Amino acid sequence: MKQMTTEEIKNTFLDYFQNNGHLVIPKSGIIPKNDPTLLFINAGMAPLKDYFLQKTIPPSKRLTNYQDCIRLIDIDSIGDSYHGTSFRMMGSWSFGDYFKEESIELAFKLITEVFGFPKEKLYATVFVNDGTLPGVPDDFESAEIWKKYLPADRIIPSPPSDNFWGPPGDSGPCGPCTEVFFDRGESFGSTNENKDILISGRHIEIWNAGVFMEYFIDEEKNISLLPQKCVDTGAGMERFAMILQNKNSIHEIDQYEIPFSYIAENVLDLKWSRIVFDHLKTSLLMLQSGIKPSNQKEGYLLRRLIRRSLTGMYLNGCDLQKSNDFLSLISEHLEKPTGAYVKDEEVVSIFSNESGLFSKMLKRNKKYFDKIVAEGNLTGEYAFALKATHGVPEELVRELCNKYHITFPEDDFLEKMTQHKEVSKK
Ligand code: SER
């Protein structure tokens, strides 16, 4: 495999598609324009939706770019080695031009000949309908094409839950996809309880190498054909870098290494250090895009990320003031290479205000948290009082319980909440 910096990986990907007749287009911001179905741009294709629907004509039938994306759907996976709530997606598209044959060939050649991924460590998944998506046939065609490049036992049939992509929001273009996985080796896992061929953490999806966009799903979940057959691909830049730079996680790649190691020196638990880095990074991206913490929609998600990063710092004995330094370091190392993650005066002031309020809440309630930890027990009544009387977010209490292996009193807590709602109604 070729050792490459993240910058080189990005340029190699874009140059390859440009040399194969694709026009390089600029990326968009993370706030969708004229698309009420999405809170954030969550894939490279999201800003291009109208091209698939032929509502507007693309500047070329073949496009490529890279795009900042936010995917909060993955929030519970953060802390592992390869998920992030924000990442950069390298993408390529065909609008009514080539379809499965050329797209798989383009993908395989780029991965093996240009990036030098060894062929024997690659797997491809193909769509096979388990009946959950009526009207969409199995993708035998892609399986046949892959046989030119990979042995049959490394072409893995996958159900719609894994291999039908989109729409990105409530409605839009979508289709069966074929994904490329890289085997990081036995040290990342030898087997799992279901004896799956692809083991999460060991076999990493490096590229959704072809969403064969043929369908449209509307808000009532009706499926119909798109006016033209298109291809949409997306590869996580950080995952490529993790593998080509032989790093254990996406957080350790060249561009992230300095801010992440500083956070990891201060937040000693590995999982939490990844969460703190990831959440602060995504918070910065949101703040610089003009989102402000609030109790609704995007603002709520930003608030949740800031609070959860401070929770991670608190639970691991890290001085909460350091969150400002962490943010500065992330910006310092990412602003230039990404053209995003900008920390200006307004960002600092909003972040300091939000983190300051949450830090005060944490300090005010420390005595109650300490009591729970000392007793190794939490009652429903106590959990309810923390939330209702002291304004402690439920998520924080759950994280505290997790950290100290204390059972969260689900039933009693729910009962207290229900009683409270009944009383409030009267
Ligand atoms: N839209 C697909 C994805 O996000 C391919 O880019 O995986």
pLDDT at 193: 75
Residue with tokens 């401070």: 310
Give the predicted TM-score (pTM) of the model: 0.94
Q: Calculate how far, in angstroms, residue 152's C-alpha sits from the geometric centre of ligand 1.
A: 24
pLDDT at 423: 80
- CA gap 110, 116 in Å, rounded: 8
- CA gap 226, 53 in Å, rounded: 7
- CA gap 341, 280 in Å, rounded: 10
- Ligand 1 atom nearest 46 alpha carbon: 1
Q: In residues, how long is the chain?
A: 426
pLDDT at 384: 95
Ligand 1: which of 52, 93, 103, 211 to mutate, judged by most atoms within 8 Å of the beta carbon?
A: 211
Tell me if 91 CB under 6 Å of ligand 1.
yes
Cβ(175)–Cβ(204) under 8 Å? no
Tell me if 210 CB under 6 Å of ligand 1.
no
Residue nearest ligand 1's atom 3 by CA: 234
- Rounded to 5°, the CA angle 166-70-207 comes to 55
Cβ(171)–Cβ(218) under 8 Å? yes
User: DSSP assignment, residue 22?
Assistant: P
Stretch (H or E) spanning 9 = helix 6-19
232: exposed, middle or buried (Cβ count in 10 Å: 0-12, 13-18, 19+): buried
pLDDT at 422: 83
Please report, to the nearest 10 degrees, the dihedral formed by the alpha carbons of residues 140, 145, 148, 151 taken in order.
Answer: -40
pLDDT at 37: 87
DSSP string, 265-316: HHS-SHHHHHHHHHHHHHHHHHHHTT----SSHHHHHHHHHHHHHHHHHHHT
CATH of 6-250, one of 3.60.15.10, 3.30.930.10, 3.40.50.300, 2.40.50.140: 3.30.930.10
Domain boundaries, the chain: 6-250, 256-364, 367-426
Tell me if 45 CB under 6 Å of ligand 1.
yes
From first to last of its 426 residues, what are the pLDDT tens digits of the chain?
989 999 999 999 999 999 999 999 999 999 999 888 899 999 999 999 999 999 999 999 999 999 999 999 889 899 999 999 999 999 999 999 999 999 999 999 999 999 999 999 999 999 999 999 988 999 999 999 999 999 999 999 999 999 999 898 888 999 999 999 999 999 998 877 777 899 999 999 999 999 999 999 999 999 999 999 999 999 999 999 999 999 999 999 999 999 999 999 999 999 999 999 999 999 999 999 999 999 999 999 999 999 999 999 999 999 999 999 999 999 999 999 898 999 999 999 999 999 999 999 999 999 999 999 999 999 999 999 999 999 999 999 999 999 999 999 999 999 999 998 888 776
46: exposed, middle or buried (Cβ count in 10 Å: 0-12, 13-18, 19+): buried
Ligand 1: which of 13, 88, 89 to mutate, judged by most atoms within 8 Å of the beta carbon?
A: 89
- CA gap 84, 69 in Å, rounded: 10
- CA gap 171, 212 in Å, rounded: 16
- CA gap 47, 76 in Å, rounded: 26
